[in-house]
């Protein structure tokens, strides 16, 4: 039977960083296990390939959540990356860290060592900033490329200019002094090619003789003796096997899969485990609780002009047919788009009313602007041209849970975001739609503006907008918190070492350890967690 010093479950944003750092010591053996397969696909490499990744079960788990009571009992698809790089191989590559107060808030909850001033150097160490941004906030020698987009659509630039209509300044660095304003997003790319956690941290060192990478291999559960993990049970192509661990097992499977593995292994609430027919190895009622995500809405507008990215006779010859050649020769054209080329952060009236300088006075909504006409009917593709503005609640109060389905398999999940269970989230998202409309009403869009197709101009009152949100709002793909660190009764891991409470050699190092959701995209913060967690392991070795 094979033995490894360290077994890392999940080759996603955090897991790849951990595997890189631990395998740098040639005296230890490291096994990185990924349930998905290779990232060697044009869909993954080319930024515009995102279109073929979401919903593609080769690269996306496409989990189905439980009916959402406050969203007309709709089932929400939970898209998570399946393959080397995890969700960093299917996301929009936007580089956002979150607000300074997010991390200070973690520290205030008892997570010492996680304040903004303590995590900022880690972000900088990981980053290779090629966008010429302020060295006070950015690093230039790390593995993760951060750049400006290759070929920005004209409508994205108009969107930034439109901020003036809503008193939102242009912001060229959302990771700098302030998040407020609109701007072009920096992305994790290298000359127009996606940079994932895998390509940044594992691909350059994958030949290390002490690093083993297993793909298409799912960890079913952990082997536990008293308070130690002795190995992991695997499944590949229906064949079961196991690996033995001599030092530590690190779960980096993400906010959905990490709690599943813990629960299937008997770590969780003892009463729930008993009801599932599982022996409780460690009573931790917080496993799977505290699920948080950004709930998101959309305003989409048709355009009579073929300026946006879209399918029409007017776009075939100038854009669609030349796109492969423009990309191959110059890294220009429509294949370079990550679709959410621009965006930003704004305050609703609730944040504006909060005491100045308090966390509540920070921007409470985030925008993702897409220079394409997104379907108002739920289709993957709509013909024609237009533009869409997605808006999410940055600091949601609603909390859900991830639990095992009681079907005897210990693999299927009940994912309940519990969206809109907090009335405050409803109020903020209603105001966010109004703010989005205010921006899109700017005169800079006059020459390209057509009909508002969603929510439609007919819906204006708060009640009408809320009804629209109940029927259409969804996740923006940022689940966190299901194995949270902390000192309260629902904490799953210790803040100072990320070890699962009561366990000697089991850690969780991924977005599931966030006690509260950060104000922005979660890929870069997950890599920071991977780096900080790896340093904890090395310091104790």
Residue 51 is given by DSSP the state G
Decide if 216 contacts 36 (C-beta within 8 A).
Answer: yes
Question: Which residues, at least 6 apart from 5, have a Cβ–Cβ distance to it below 8 Å?
Answer: 28, 29, 30, 245, 246, 247, 248
**Side-chain-facing half-sphere of 98: CA atoms under 13 Å:** 30
Sign for the CA dihedral angle at 35, 40, 42, 46 comes to: positive
- Residue 385 tokens read as 């041209």
**Does 229 appear as a known binding residue?**
no
Query: Of the candidates 466, 524, 533, 500, which has an alpha carbon nearest to the alpha carbon of residue 188?
Result: 524
**Does 457 appear as a known binding residue?**
no
The position carrying tokens 């997003």 is 185
The position carrying tokens 């008892």 is 110
**Does 92 appear as a known binding residue?**
yes
The secondary structure of 265-310 as a DSSP string is: TTEE-HHHHHHTT---SEE-TTTT--BB--EEEEEEEEESSTTSB-
**Does 91 appear as a known binding residue?**
yes
How far are the Cα atoms of 107, 481, 533 from residue 518, in angstroms, in the given order?
Answer: 13, 10, 18
117: phi then psi, degrees, rounded to nearest 5: -65, -25
Specify the pairing of strand 295-303 against strand 385-393.
antiparallel
Angle between helices 523-540 and 13-23 (to 10 degrees): 30
How far are the Cα atoms of 428, 429, 471, 517 from residue 423, in angstroms, in the given order?
Answer: 9, 10, 16, 18
Query: Which of 368, 385, 417, 478 is flagged as catalytic?
Result: 478
* Catalytic-residue membership of 319: no
Beta bridge partners of 344: 182, 367
Question: How far is 129 from 192, CA to CA, in rounded Å?
Answer: 15
Give one word for 167, left, alpha or beta, with left for phi > 0 and alpha for psi -120 to 50. left
Helix, strand, or coil (residue 80):
coil
Binding residue positions? 91-94, 219
Binding residue positions for FAD? 91-94, 219
List the catalytic residues: 478
């Amino acid at each position: 039977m094979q033995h490894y010093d360290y077994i890392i479950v999940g080759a996603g944003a955090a897991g790849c960083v951990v595997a890189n750092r631990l395998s740098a010591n040639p005296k230890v053996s490291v096994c990185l296990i990924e349930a998905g397969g290779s990232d060697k696909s044009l869909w993954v490499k080319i930024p515009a390939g995102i279109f073929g990744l979401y919903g593609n079960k080769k690269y996306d788990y496409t989990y189905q959540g439980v009916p959402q009571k406050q969203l007309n009992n709709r089932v929400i698809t939970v898209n998570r990356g399946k393959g080397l790089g995890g969700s960093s191989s299917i996301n929009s590559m936007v580089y956002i860290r979150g607000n300074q107060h997010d991390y200070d808030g973690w520290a205030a909850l008892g997570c010492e060592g996680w304040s903004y001033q303590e995590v900022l150097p880690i972000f900088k160490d990981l980053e290779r900033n090629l966008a010429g941004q302020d060295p006070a906030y950015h690093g230039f020698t790390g593995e993760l490329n951060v750049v400006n987009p290759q070929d920005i659509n004209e409508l994205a630039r108009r969107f930034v200019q439109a901020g003036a209509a809503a008193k939102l300044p242009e912001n060229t660095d959302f990771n700098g002094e302030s998040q407020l304003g609109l701007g072009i997003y920096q992305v994790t790319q290298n000359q127009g090619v996606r940079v994932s956690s895998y390509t940044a941290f594992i691909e350059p060192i994958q030949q290390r003789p002490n690093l083993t990478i297993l793909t298409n291999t799912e960890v079913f559960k952990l082997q536990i003796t008293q308070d130690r993990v002795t190995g992991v049970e695997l499944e590949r192509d229906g064949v079961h096997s196991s690996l033995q661990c001599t030092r530590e097992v690190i779960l980096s499977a993400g906010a959905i899969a990490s709690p599943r593995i813990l629960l299937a292994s008997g770590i969780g609430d003892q009463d729930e485990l008993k009801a599932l027919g599982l022996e409780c190895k460690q009573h931790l009622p917080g496993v799977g609780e505290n699920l948080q995500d950004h709930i998101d809405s959309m305003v989409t507008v048709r355009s009579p002009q073929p300026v946006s990215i879209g399918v029409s006779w007017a776009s075939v010859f100038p854009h669609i047919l030349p796109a492969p050649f423009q990309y191959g020769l110059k890294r220009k054209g429509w294949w370079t788009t990550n679709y959410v080329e621009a965006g930003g952060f704004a305050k609703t009236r609730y944040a504006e009313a909060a005491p100045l300088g308090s966390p509540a006075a920070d921007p409470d909504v985030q925008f993702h602007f897409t220079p394409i006409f997104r379907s108002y009917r739920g289709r993957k593709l709509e013909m024609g041209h237009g533009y869409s503005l997605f808006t999410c609640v940055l600091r949601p109060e609603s909390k859900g849970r991830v639990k095992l389905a009681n079907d005897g398999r210990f693999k299927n999940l009940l994912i309940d975001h519990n969206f809109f269970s907090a009335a405050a989230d409803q109020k903020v998202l209603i105001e966010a739609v109004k703010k989005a409309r205010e921006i899109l009403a700017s005169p800079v869009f006059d020459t390209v503006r057509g009909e508002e197709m969603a929510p439609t101009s007919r819906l204006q009152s708060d009640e009408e907008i809320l009804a629209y949100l109940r029927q259409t709002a969804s996740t923006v793909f940022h689940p966190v918190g299901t194995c949270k660190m902390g000192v309260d009764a629902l904490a799953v891991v210790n803040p100072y070492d990320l070890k699962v409470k009561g366990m000697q050699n089991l850690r969780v190092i991924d977005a599931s350890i966030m006690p509260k959701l950060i104000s922005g995209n979660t890929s870069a913060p997950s890599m920071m967690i991977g780096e900080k967690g790896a340093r904890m392991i090395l310091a104790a070795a």
